[in-house]
Amino acid sequence: MANSEYERRIAARFSGFDQDGNGYIDREDFNVATKAVLAEFGTAARSDKGQALYVGAEAFWQGMAGIADRDGDQRITRQEFVTGAVKRLRDNPDRFAEIARPFLHAALAVADADDDGAATVDDTARVLKALGVPEEIAAAAAGTLDTDADGRIGEVEVVTAFARYFTVPE
């Protein structure tokens, strides 16, 4: 894949993070994402699961800012995202999984209504969709994760899928 095509696809992911669509990524976008996931599952912000999701979102934001906010103004512009995040995420996709994991772990817990450590395929797709992943992609991504076809998805699979979607292998 040509580098320009790669960067174009990464830039398209920018809008996934820019949840409020104001042209840059900041802490508020992660709050918006958190509220969207909690609303999707009817989970109270003050509940243990709700608080864990907010904590995970803050860690995710701090991690993204550390990678991409070059001028330290607490905003990640599209240019900062493309030039700052693209190379680092491509060189080290595990790093992305690492910074996203606490948030995704907490999101999975929100989706895991019966607290058995896994979410259904449908509920996993709902999480991805609440995070801004297009519905048809979310459903397909969740479905392909369920490799043993038992209808259930755990943390490793969710983190892997999210990292794959946002890092876009070259």
Does 13 interact with Ca ion (rule: CB under 5 A)? no
Query: Of 118, 101, 100, 98, which Cα lies nearest the Cα of 109?
Result: 118
Please list every residue from 29 through 58 that binds Ca ion, using CB under 5 A. 29
CA 58 from centroid of its chain's CA atoms? 12
Residue count, binding to Ca ion (CB under 5 A): 8
- Nearest distance, CB of residue 156 and Ca ion, angstroms: 29
- Judged on CB neighbours under 10 Å (0-12, 13-18, 19+), 155 is middle
Distances 37 to 11, 120, 157 between C-alpha atoms, Å:
23, 15, 18
Does 122 interact with Ca ion (rule: CB under 5 A)? no
Query: Of 163, 61, 49, which Cα lies nearest the Cα of 113?
Result: 49
- Residues 72-91: x where in contact with Ca ion by CB under 5 A, - otherwise, as a string: -x-x----------------
Find the binder of Ca ion among 18, 112, 123, 157 (CB under 5 A).
Answer: 18
Q: Of the ranges 39-47, 71-79, 82-90, 152-160, which one interacts with Ca ion (CB under 5 A)?
A: 71-79
Give the residues lining the site for Ca ion (CB under 5 A): 18, 20, 22, 29, 69, 71, 73, 75
